[in-house]
Structure 1
Amino acid sequence: MEVVAYYRVSTGAQEKSGLGLEAQVDYVHSAARQQGWKVVAEYTETVSGTIAPQDRPECKKALAHGLPVLVAKLDRIGRDVGHIAELMKRTSLKVATMPLADNFQLHLFAALAEQERSFIASRTRDALAALKARADDGDVASIEKLARRAGALVMGRTQANRDKASKAILERVTTWTESVRDPIDLCIRKGATTLQQVADCLNDKGIGTSRGGEWSSMQVSRVMKSLSLSFPL
């Protein structure tokens, strides 16, 4: 079966790092080999997932082929269930991480993913509220420690500064953690069965820790737990 590959990176940081794109290409070509699909064209663009697929220049080109569109993960084509449902009226969608799923199943996955993002946002707000409560109680040291670990310093100790710092910390840590989800997942899919093997895989790829250093099994364990990633049984 012939397919058209579509890759999307959502920010300038992802575009410059190449990690987001590299992982997507790896997913797509691995799935194509395993399923016997022939990738006849590939399109890449940097655009927010909030923009409907039909309104993206490169995605339009992919759809114009009239062939199934293959993406690395469902959120690369879109994060809005409505957008995905509209797209499925025009083409057959294939997802590298779920190669056997049909359009109906993908629609269900999209709905579940949207709900999970809502839960994550709620948990993030709860975590921010907990930090704010600790700051209100005078526990500024803990926020300063988190800020230093995230590469920032709390400027002053007013309530407004504490609120801004804690919010920036949470956003920075969450963004970085999500940026290593695909590389870790790919290491596992390629045969890594232990924490140290994942660490070695990430180090071999030149992917640094949040501080730019090399990975250890303990660091991998903490990040995998945060991302709810695990080894296959």
Structure 2
Amino acid sequence: MKYYITYIRTSTKRQDLGLEAQQNIIKNFLSSEDVVLYSFSEQESGSKKNRIELNKAIQACKDNKAVLLIAKLDRLSRSVSFISTLLDSDIEIVVADMPNANKFTLHILASVAQQELDSIHKRTTDALNVIKNNIHRNGFHISKAGNQITKLGNGSCISEENRLLGQQAIKAKKLSNHNLIKAKAFANVLKKAGSTLTEITLQLNNNGFKTSQGKRFHLMTTRRLFDL
């Protein structure tokens, strides 16, 4: 038997993972012998560190020697430093959609997720800035295909460069999916350690990782992670 304190959160800007969805994830994780002592929820930005209900949940864990149970890692926070501080504290944290993940794995996922998002935003911004600067300086930009672009967002003519930017946007959207971010981070660690594609696929599924569609990984979908 384990005693849990549950914490769920929705963003103030978007409901990307609503309270009901988080409650269902937690409910599916709990066994018949588990006991939820208290449940806390709030609507607050994941970047805010001082959250009233989260502070209450953490204190309840300390007072009752219970485990802090959350649906997904990003519901705890979107700050790498904040997550790392909690993981290194004297309370135990369990992520319901990744029940087998240990502290080391969660540290990696939090760090790499932040790095991936920052890189995506920077690459997209840099590409657009190059085009805009060339147009401002020369009156045009020459794409890799040799097409001349005089402005962005021309609805009457989709240039090769704009197609490439569109492809980058689609790729960025995929990489912003938290399931794929976590899976790719974990897969990269295993690949660097010398694991085969089959072994990586097995470990992804054993640790509860899901594709962007919420499905189990197969060799093909695992291979695609390294192409993102």
Q: TM-score, normalising length from structure 1?
A: 0.53
Q: Is the 8 A contact 1:3 1:38 kept in 2?
A: yes
Q: Is the 8 A contact 1:131 1:143 kept in 2?
A: no
1:188 aligns with 2:214: yes
Q: Classify the secondary structure of the residue corresponding to 1:58.
A: helix
1:57 aligns with 2:55: no
Map 1:67-82 onto structure 2 (within 5 A).
67-82=66-81
Map 1:27-66 onto structure 2 (within 5 A).
27-33=25-31, 37-52=34-49, 55-66=50-61
1:143 aligns with 2:153: yes
Q: Is the 8 A contact 1:20 1:179 kept in 2?
A: no
Q: Label 1:36 to 1:178 Cα distance change in 2 as closer, same or farther (>3 A).
A: farther
Bigger Rg over Cα:
2
User: As a proportion of its length, which structure holds more helix?
Assistant: 1
Identity over aligned residues, as a percent? 30
Q: Is the 8 A contact 1:27 1:186 kept in 2?
A: no
Write out the 4+ residue segments of structure 1 that deviate beyond 4 Å after TM superposition.
133-136, 138-142, 177-182, 184-187
Q: Which runs of 5+ in 2 are unaligned?
A: 142-148, 157-167, 181-209, 219-223
Alignment partners' CA distance in 2, 1:110 and 1:13: 21
Map 1:2-151 onto structure 2 (within 5 A).
2-14=3-15, 19-33=17-31, 37-52=34-49, 55-66=50-61, 67-88=66-87, 89-129=89-129, 132=132, 137=140, 139=149, 143=153, 145=155
Q: Label 1:40 to 1:116 Cα distance change in 2 as closer, same or farther (>3 A).
A: same
Q: Which runs of 5+ in 1 are unaligned?
A: 147-169, 194-224, 229-233
Q: Is the 8 A contact 1:7 1:71 kept in 2?
A: yes
| Per-residue deviation, 1:188 | 3.0
| Amino acid of the structure 1 residue aligned with 2:93 | L
Q: Label 1:40 to 1:10 Cα distance change in 2 as closer, same or farther (>3 A).
A: same
Q: Is the 8 A contact 1:92 1:103 kept in 2?
A: no
Q: Label 1:12 to 1:117 Cα distance change in 2 as closer, same or farther (>3 A).
A: closer
Q: TM-score, normalising length from structure 2?
A: 0.54
